[in-house]
């Protein structure tokens, strides 16, 4: 196993019994549908064999932090201890899935592990939905892995973009900042989640759903062509990705990696963090 971006259903099914595999169910409720089914309860009822549950709010965020958006990053030491309690070490292949396309919140966990320098972590392409379409088994059995020491690394802060860093680049030509929210939210026509509508001045819009076809990521070469056109000559390493709260932006980062375009970074606080300071400018249209 050496999966670093996406893994297909058949590949994962063949490796379920490998002791080096650590599998995670990261199903989460999207903020736009807060009354959706409880994902932890859904996990308890049925999940992929061997999967442990990673909670977006409790494990992949620290909601006690103020002013950093709706899903502030967890402290890296806390996340390192959580990984150890799940039995994850640098020697393991990690695979994460959610209900479908990876945006809620499999790609978020994938990114957090990448920030620690963990290479062998991948998202199940198509998620639980693809697994079920393939007629593969599910279980209600919860199988814990032997605990490990806290993960021996800390987040690479150079890969995490802050609101101040975004503000410092506002005078640059547009194109370096890409917002993956739905077009109507980006334009500020509707805002069902955050108290202010609009976008960061100069940002481009590429809704994350454009990475997909029939619930799975488009082929790597096709995504490469689309994303290179979006970059318009910029290097991926000069590019910053954002969304509403730093979750679905990771989906576009995964698409970049799948397409062989390495080095883009995520604005962790994203829109909900940006509007936490009313002095920051807002654009519409």
Residue 99 sits in the same domain as residue 168: no
The domain of 134 spans 6-155
**Residue 34: per-residue pLDDT:** 78
117 domain residue, yes or no:
yes
Question: Which pLDDT value is given to residue 247?
Answer: 98
As given in the structure block, the two tokens for residue 150 are 């806290």
37 pLDDT higher than 90 = no
Number of structural domains (the chain) is: 2
Same domain? 110 vs 43: yes
148 and 226 within one domain: no
Same domain? For 235 and 269 the reply is yes
| Among 155, 189, 213, residue at a domain's last position | 155
CA distance 128 to 112: 21
Residue tagged active-site, from 243, 253, 254, 255 = 243
Pairing of strands 212-213, 216-217: antiparallel
* Mean local confidence (pLDDT), 136-162: 96
Residue 281 in any domain: the answer is no
74 and 198 housed in the same domain: no
For residue 32, pLDDT beyond 80: no
Tell me, yes or no, whether 151 and 21 share the same domain: yes
CATH code of 72's domain: 3.40.250.10
pLDDT score at 31: 78
Model pTM above 0.85: yes
Indicate if 243 belongs to the active site. Answer: yes
Last residue of a domain, one of 155, 178, 198: 155
List, for residues 77-128, the tens digit of each pLDDT value.
999 999 999 999 999 999 999 999 999 999 999 999 999 999 999 999 999 9
Rounded to whole angstroms, how far apart are CA atoms 220 and 240? 20
DSSP symbols for 20-81? TEEEEE-----TTSTTS--HHHHHHH-B-TTPEE--TTTTS--TT--SS-SSPPPPHHHHHH
Residues 144 and 204 occupy one common structural domain? no
Examine the domain organization and report whether 73 and 130 are in the same domain.
Answer: yes
25 bridge partner residues: 53, 97
pLDDT in tens, 219-240: 999 999 999 999 999 999 999 9
pLDDT of 233 reads 95
């Amino acid at each position: 196993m050496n999966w670093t971006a996406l893994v297909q259903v058949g590949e994962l099914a063949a490796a379920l019994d490998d002791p080096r595999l650590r599998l995670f169910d990261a199903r989460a409720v999207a903020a736009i549908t807060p009354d959706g089914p409880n994902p932890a309860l859904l996990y308890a009822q049925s999940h992929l064999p061997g999967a442990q549950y990673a909670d977006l709010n409790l494990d992949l965020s620290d909601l006690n932090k103020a002013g950093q958006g709706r899903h502030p990053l967890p402290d890296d030491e806390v996340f390192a201890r959580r990984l150890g309690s799940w039995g994850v070490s640098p020697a393991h292949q990690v695979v994460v899935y959610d209900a479908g396309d990876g945006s809620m919140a499999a790609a978020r966990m994938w990114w957090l592990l990448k920030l620690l320098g963990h290479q062998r972590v991948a998202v199940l392409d198509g998620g639980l939905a693809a697994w079920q379409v393939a007629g593969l088994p599910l279980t209600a059995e919860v199988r814990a892995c032997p605990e490990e020491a806290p993960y021996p690394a800390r987040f690479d802060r150079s890969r995490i973009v802050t609101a101040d860093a975004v503000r410092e680049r506002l005078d640059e030509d547009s194109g370096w900042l890409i917002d993956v929210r739905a077009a109507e939210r980006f334009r500020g026509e509707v805002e069902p989640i955050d108290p202010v509508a609009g976008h960061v001045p100069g940002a481009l819009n590429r809704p994350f759903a454009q990475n997909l076809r029939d619930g799975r990521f488009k082929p790597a070469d096709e995504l490469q062509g689309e994303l290179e056109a979006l970059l318009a000559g910029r290097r991926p390493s000069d590019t910053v990705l954002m969304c509403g709260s730093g979750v679905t932006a990771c989906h576009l980062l995964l698409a970049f990696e799948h397409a062989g375009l390495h080095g883009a970074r995520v604005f962790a606080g994203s829109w909900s963090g940006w509007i936490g300071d009313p002095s920051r400018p807002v654009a519409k249209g």
